[in-house]
Amino acid sequence: MTPPPAPAMAAESDAVHGGRRRHVLLFPLPYQGHINPMFRLAGLLHARGFSVTVFHTHFNAPDPARHPQYRFVPVPVPDGTSGPAPAAIEDVIAQILALGAACESGFRDRLAAVLEEYSRDAVACLIADAHLLPIFEVTAKLAVPTLALRTGSAACFACFLAYPMLFEKGYLPVKGMSSDPASVRQSQRDMPVSELTPYRVRDLMVFLGDDDRGSLRELLARAVTAVKVSSGLILNTFDALERRELEGLRRDLTVPVFDIGPLHKFSPAGDSSLLRQDRSCLDWLDARPPASALYVSFGSLACMSPRDLVETAWGIAGSGVPFLWVVRPGMVRGSAHQEQELPEGFEAATRGRGMVVAWAPQEEVLRHRAVGGFWTHNGWNSTTESVCEGVPMLCCPYFGDQMGNARYVEHVWRVGFEVGGELERGAVEAAIRRLITGKDGAEMRARAGELKKAAEECIGKGGSSCLAIDKLIAHMTSL
C-alpha cells in the first residue's frame, strides 16, 4: 500500500512566520527504535511547512547527506560517554541515563546559538524523546516550549505512570527475583495486575536480576517527569488499537495527548537505518507463494544466547516452512564474531527454501504478499508495522516494553502468540507450523487483516490520526 499523503495542507500557513517557514527542533534518543519514529515525525512536519533542525549526539549520529532537507546540529558529550550500544539491557539503561546527563551542557550552548540565529519567535517548539529529561530541563530555563515523543505504546506509558502504585501495592519488586531469579515461583510471575489489565507481573518492565542501583525505576520516573513538564505528549499509536489506554492517559495527564500513528504510514523515514539493508531479499520473496514465508527478526538491540541461536536455527529448519531470517551483527551475546555463525549443517538443511540476511527493509518485507507470519521480539515499531500489514506474529520478547506488547498481541488483539519458556527446537517447529500453515494462524491472519483495515481508516481523510495531526500542528503553532 502506498503511504497516504500528509494530511491537508490547510495548516501550512501557520508554519510560516515573517514570510519564512517556522522552525521545529528535534532531539531523538540515539537508538534505532527511537530514531525512526522521530525522523518520520520530522518528515510529516516538514511536509506541513516547518523547517526541521535535528540535534544529535555523535553516538549513532544520523548522516546529513541522507536528509538534505534538514539541518543537523551535533551536541558534544564528554569522551567515553557514548561507546557502542551494549548488549545487556541493564547497560543500555545506564547508557541512556548517562547520555542524557552528558548532553545537558553541550545542548544548552547549541540551543542558545540556534535560538539567536533563528530568532526566538521563529521557533515553534522543540520535540524531544521522553527519555531525555535533561533536554526538557534546559528548554524550560530557555523558555522553549517542548513536546515529548514516546516511541512505545499508550499502554506502556500507562505502566510507567503506575510504577509507584506497583511498588506500593507489592507487585514489585518480585520477591526472590534479585537474589535467585530461578527460585521465583511461576504463579507469582503469572499474577495478574488488576489495575493494569491485561498485564501480569511478568509483563511489567522488571529486571530478572539485581537492580540495587534502581536504574530502571529512575529511567521510568524521569520519562514520566519529562512528559508532565512538557507542552504535550506525542504517541506513535492510533485510536483503533489503543482507545481505552488513550482515554486513560487523557484522564491521568494534564498535558494534551496526540495519537498520530502509525507514523510509518504517514511519512517515510528517509534512510535512517543504522545498518545497511539487504534488498535482495525482496527478489527472493517474489518467487514465494502468497502467505507462505516466515519473516524472522529480533530488532536492533535484542540479543540471544548461543544456545537460543542454535535452537532457533534447528526449529526453523525442522518446520519445513520457507523463511527470511535477519541475523544481524552482534545479535548473539558473548560471541567473539560480529558476523554470527549458524550451526554447521543448517545451510544445507534449508537450501532452496530460506534466506539469511544481516538486515532487511522491514516495512517492505511485511508488506510483501509472500509473508504469512512474523517472528518478532515485539518492539513497538515492529509490532505496529506487522499489525498495519495484517501479518500475524510469533512473539519472543526479550526486555523492556516487549513483554507487554506481546501480551496485547496474544490476549487483546489476538493476532499472534508467544513462544513460551526456553526455546526448544521441537516447540519452535510446532509454533512456526501453527502460525503459517495451521488453522489458528489463518484465524489470526484474518483478525490481523481487520486491524489493518482499522489502521487504514485512522490514517484516511477524517480519520482519528489525521485529526490528531491537525490538532498537534494547531497546538505547536499556538505555543
Are residues 301 and 250 part of one domain? no
The pLDDT value recorded for residue 10 is: 40
Are residues 136 and 116 part of one domain? yes
CA distance 243 to 416: 20
The pLDDT value recorded for residue 395 is: 98
Are residues 407 and 267 part of one domain? no
Domain membership of residue 422 (yes or no) is yes
58 noted as active-site residue: no
Are residues 471 and 445 part of one domain? no
Which residues contact residue 313 at a Cβ distance below 8 angstroms, ignoring those fewer than 6 apart? 342, 343, 346
Domain that holds residue 305: 280-456
CA distance 297 to 357: 10
Domain membership of residue 392 (yes or no) is yes
- Domains of the chain: total: 2
Is residue 475 within 8 Å of 232, Cβ to Cβ?
A: yes
- Closest by CA position to 342, among listed 364, 312, 320, 379: 312
The pLDDT value recorded for residue 73 is: 98
Element (H, E) at 464: helix 464-478
CA distance 26 to 75: 12
Is residue 381 within 8 Å of 300, Cβ to Cβ?
A: no
CA distance 399 to 176: 19
- Closest by CA position to 127, among listed 412, 470, 443, 475: 475
Are residues 120 and 59 part of one domain? yes
The pLDDT value recorded for residue 341 is: 82
Domain membership of residue 3 (yes or no) is no
CA distance 235 to 200: 23
Domain membership of residue 4 (yes or no) is no
Are residues 98 and 227 part of one domain? yes
Q: What's the CA angle centered on 416, arms 414 and 421, to 5 degrees?
A: 120
* Residue given cell 501479518 in the structure block: 391
CATH of the domain at 118: 3.40.50.2000
Domain membership of residue 183 (yes or no) is yes
**pTM score above 0.85:** yes
Are residues 168 and 103 part of one domain? yes
- Closest by CA position to 181, among listed 216, 205, 210: 210
Are residues 388 and 261 part of one domain? no
Element (H, E) at 168: helix 154-168
Are residues 312 and 254 part of one domain? no
Tally of CA atoms within 13 A in the half-sphere of 423 that contains its CB: 23
Domain membership of residue 163 (yes or no) is yes
Which residues contact residue 36 at a Cβ distance below 8 angstroms, ignoring those fewer than 6 apart? 264, 269, 272, 381
The pLDDT value recorded for residue 7 is: 43
Domain membership of residue 246 (yes or no) is yes
Residues of the chain short of pLDDT 50, as ranges, are 1-12, 177-184, 208-210, 212
Q: Which of 46, 56, 67, 129 is catalytic?
A: 129
Are residues 248 and 186 part of one domain? yes
CA distance 14 to 286: 45
Q: Which of 23, 34, 131, 475 is catalytic?
A: 34
Are residues 467 and 382 part of one domain? no
Is residue 92 within 8 Å of 86, Cβ to Cβ?
A: yes
C-alpha dihedral, 175 to 181 to 182 to 187, nearest 10°: 40
CA of 46: how far to CAs of 29, 142, 269, in Å? Answer: 20, 24, 12
CA of 350: how far to CAs of 288, 325, 404, 459, in Å? Answer: 15, 12, 33, 40
Domain membership of residue 1 (yes or no) is no
Q: Which DSSP string do the residues of 312-345 spell out, in sequence order?
A: HHHHHHHH---EEEE--TT-BTT-S-SSPPPPTT
Per-state percent for the chain, helix, strand, coil, to nearest 5: 50, 15, 40
Cell of 393: 506474529
Are residues 408 and 385 part of one domain? yes
34 noted as active-site residue: yes
Provide the CA 116 distance to its chain's centre, in angstroms: 34
CA distance 333 to 432: 24
Cell of 325: 531470517
